[in-house]
Amino acid sequence: MAGVVKVTTAQEKNLAPVMANTNAIAQVAPSPAPPNNSLPALVPLPQSLKSLPGEALTKLETLVFPANLWAEAQYLAAEIAQQTGKNLSLVKADQTAGAPAGALVLSWSTTPLAAEGYRLQVQSSAMTLVAQDKAGFIHGMQTILQLLPLQKGKAWKIPALEIEDHPRFAYRGMHLDVVRHLFSVDYIKQFIDYLCHHKMNTFHWHLTDDQGWRIEMKAYPKLNTIGSYRAETLVGHFKDQPAVYDGQRYGGYYTQKEIKEIVAYAALRQINIIPEIDIPGHSRAAIAAYPELSTQPDTVWNVATTWGMYNRQNNVLAPKPATFQFLETVFTELMALFPSPYIHLGGDECSKLWWKQDPKTQDFIAQNKLGNETGLQTYFIEYVGRFLQTKGRKAIGWHEIAEGKLDTATLIMNWGNEKTAAQCLQKGFSIIQTPGKPLYFDHYQSLDPKDSLAIHGYNPLEAVYRFDPVPPGMNRSNKILGAQANVWTEYMGHAQKVNYMVFPRMTALSEVLWSGPGKDYGAFLQRLESQSIPRYGYWNASWFKDYRKWDLSKKPAN
Q: Is 551 in the site for ligand ACM (CB under 6 A)?
A: no
Tell the smallest beta-carbon distance from residue 547 to ligand ACM (Å): 24
Is the CB of 290 or the CB of 415 nearer to ligand ACM? 415
Tell the smallest beta-carbon distance from residue 16 to ligand ACM (Å): 27
Whether omega before 44 lies within 30 degrees of 0, making that bond cis, reads yes
Q: Which residues are the active-site residues?
A: 209, 282, 349
Is the CB of 380 or the CB of 398 nearer to ligand ACM? 398
Residue number with the shortest CB distance to ligand ACM? Answer: 348
Helix (H, G, I), strand (E, B) or coil at 21: helix
Site for ligand ACM in 4-33 (CB under 6 A): none
- Transcribe 166-225 into DSSP letters: --S-SEEEEEEE-SSS---HHHHHHHHHHHHHTT--EEEEE-EETTEE-B--SS-THHHH
Is the CB of 61 or the CB of 348 nearer to ligand ACM? 348
Is the CB of 415 or the CB of 503 nearer to ligand ACM? 415
Tell the smallest beta-carbon distance from residue 416 to ligand ACM (Å): 9
Q: How many chain residues are in contact with ligand ACM, going by CB under 6 A?
A: 4
Contact pattern from residue 394 through residue 433 relative to ligand ACM, giving x for each residue in contact according to CB under 6 A and a dash for the rest? ----x----------------x------------------
CB 24 within 8 A of CB 533: no
In 240-319, which ranges are continuous DSSP H helix?
Answer: 256-268, 284-289
Site for ligand ACM in 312-371 (CB under 6 A): 348-349
- Transcribe 356-385 into DSSP letters: HT-HHHHHHHHHTT--SHHHHHHHHHHHHH
Is the CB of 491 or the CB of 514 nearer to ligand ACM? 491
Tell the smallest beta-carbon distance from residue 175 to ligand ACM (Å): 9
Whether omega before 30 lies within 30 degrees of 0, making that bond cis, reads no
- Give the span between the Cα atoms of 547 and 329, in whole angstroms: 46
Tell the smallest beta-carbon distance from residue 338 to ligand ACM (Å): 20
Is the CB of 159 or the CB of 397 nearer to ligand ACM? 397
- Give the span between the Cα atoms of 363 and 423, in whole angstroms: 31
Q: Could you tell me the sign of the dihedral formed by the alpha carbons of 425, 427, 429, 432, in that order?
A: negative
CB-based burial of residue 283 (10 Å sphere; 0-12 exposed, 13-18 middle, 19+ buried)? buried
Tell the smallest beta-carbon distance from residue 279 to ligand ACM (Å): 13
Tell the smallest beta-carbon distance from residue 217 to ligand ACM (Å): 22
Strand stretches in 399-540, DSSP E: 411-414, 431-433, 480-485
Site for ligand ACM in 452-481 (CB under 6 A): none
Task: Let me know the angle formed at the C-alpha of 513 by 512 and 514, rounded to the nearest 5 degrees.
Answer: 100
Is the CB of 348 or the CB of 403 nearer to ligand ACM? 348
Helix (H, G, I), strand (E, B) or coil at 318: coil
CB 500 within 8 A of CB 544: yes
- Give the span between the Cα atoms of 129 and 108, in whole angstroms: 8
Chain positions contacting ligand ACM, by CB under 6 A: 348-349, 398, 415
